[in-house]
Structure formats: C-alpha cells, structure tokens
Amino acid sequence: MKRSPEELENLIHQTLRALPERRAPRSLEGRVLAAIAARQALPWWKQSFRAWPIAVRGAFVVASCALVAALAFAWVLYGPQNVDVSQTLARPLALLESVRGVGRALVDFGAILLRHVPTLWLYGAIAAFIGLYVTLFGVGATAYRTLYANR
C-alpha cells in the first residue's frame, strides 16, 4: 500500500505524539544546575558587559570616548601632513617586492620543470595522487568502523 506524503507525515506525527516524554538523567540536571551556579558566582569583570554594575559600564563608556577623542586630537596635531608617507611605506613595499620576486622565481621553476618532465610521468603522478587519496578515505572509513561504529 503506497501512501501519499501527507498521509505519511500525519502517521509519523501521530506516532511521535503517542510516545511518552523522556526525562533527562538526574546527573545531567545536577551538572547543568552546577554550571549555572558557577557562572553566576563569577566576579563581575569575568561576566558579560550587561552584567557589569551600571557605574562601571558608564565609566567604561566615558573612558572609551575619551580615548577616541584623544586619538582624534593626536591625529589632528600629528596627522598625515607631518608624516612622510613614502618613507613610511618604503620598507613594507620592498619586502612585498622581494616576496613577489621569490614567487615569480618559483613559478618560472615550475614552468621549466613541467616542460622537461614527460607527460606520461605527470599522468602517473596524478593517478598515484588520486589513488593515495582514495586509500586515505578507505583507511579512515575502516578505522571509523573498527573504533567507533561497533560501540
């Protein structure tokens, strides 16, 4: 007898509703209550910002605003007009250029290597890599079934 999806859904819903509710184990309840009590026993500075006393939150906001204002004031006094950007960026750009040169050398080396290696060897290496990858999945599945699935 083939049932429509709606009939099957209703049957499953009724079957699940008929099952009795299961209670959590007593040990779980005790652990959860202990974790809640431990969290509430933490000092205020280790709790979330909303749990801080209102005076401390206000002081933190005022101190943060003062820091932002001080940084903005320092930017106005000692901002970009007093900084030589070319000198500031020269060292990181030189480092970036050397990294780019090493990358270009590696790409050139790979191109030379690919031109001189026979095509059959490349196909063999790709096939060996795929075979090793499939073997890794097989060993992983076997280890899983051996160690965990039989428990």
Work out the pLDDT band at 131, boundaries 50, 70, 90.
very high
Q: What is the pLDDT of residue 95?
A: 86
Rounded to an integer, the average pLDDT of 101-128 is 93
Q: What is the 3-state secondary structure (H, E, C) of 74-138?
A: HHHHHCHHHCCHHHHHHHHHHHHHHHHHHHHHHHHHHHHHHHHCCHHHHHHHHHHHHHHHHHHHH
Q: Domain for residue 128, yes or no?
A: yes
Q: Domain for residue 133, yes or no?
A: yes
Q: What is the pLDDT of residue 151?
A: 62
Q: Domain for residue 125, yes or no?
A: yes
Residues 13-29, buried b or exposed e (16+ Cβ, 10 A)? eeeeeeeeeeeeeeeee
What is the pTM for the complete model shown? 0.36
- Say what the alpha-carbon torsion angle 102, 107, 109, 114 is, to the nearest 10 degrees: 170
Residue 39 predicted with pLDDT over 70: yes
Range of the domain at 127: 114-150
Which range, 26-30, 82-86, 133-137, has the best average confidence (pLDDT)?
133-137
Tens digit of pLDDT for each residue in 74-106? 877 776 666 566 666 777 788 889 999 999 999
Q: Domain for residue 95, yes or no?
A: no
Domain count, the chain: 2
Q: What is the pLDDT of residue 84?
A: 64
Q: Domain for residue 25, yes or no?
A: no
Which token pair is 27? 């040990």
Q: Domain for residue 108, yes or no?
A: no
Q: Domain for residue 102, yes or no?
A: no
Q: Domain for residue 67, yes or no?
A: yes
More confident residue, 40 or 137: 137
Tens digit of pLDDT for each residue in 56-82? 999 999 999 999 999 888 877 776 666
